[in-house]
Amino acid sequence: MAGDMDRSDERNQLIDELLALQDAWESSAVPRMLQHLLEIDLTIQQLKVLAILIATDGDSTGQRLAETLGVSLATISGILDRLEAHDMIERSEDPRDRRIRQVRATTTGRETIHRILTSRPKLDEGPLAEIPLEDLRALTRGMRAVLRAAEQTSPVTAPAD
């Protein structure tokens, strides 16, 4: 029983240390993430609209976007005009009702959000090349175990129709 408790304590300590290391690793990315944000010539409201369009993965309308953000139609119209000028969104007529303009993110808009979201720290050859072979093997083994556990706890499911 004492051996089980020791292993449990060690497991908990290792998990705590790994989570602390992950926090440190993520904190190292903050300057890079902020740099990406500063390089983008968009306001927070414009980024929110772009994020909503990408998150909903489809068309929206100015009316829906205004309601979602809690702003007036005039405000959302100005935001959409500026996003369109930056080639972040495109507007088109709704084939069912020509009075309605559909809004969708362009490839440029999607790439902009992708660049912000992927500016977190990544493993690359520089630091990995400095790790002793035995530690590199252990890290690889550990990463495989993390991926397996993640796949078991979060299975990928097809979206509902």
Question: What are the structural domain ranges in the chain?
Answer: 27-122, 124-154
What does CATH list as the number for 27-122? 1.10.10.10
Structure tokens at 127: 């630091």
The mean pLDDT of the chain is 86
37 pLDDT higher than 70? yes
Of 96, 108, 61, whose CA–CA distance to 80 is shortest?
Answer: 61
What is residue 123's predicted lDDT score, i.e. its pLDDT?
A: 75
The pLDDT assigned to 128 comes to 86
Q: What are 116-139's pLDDT values in tens digits?
A: 887 766 777 778 889 999 999 999
pTM here is 0.62
| CB neighbours of residue 53 within 10 Å | 23
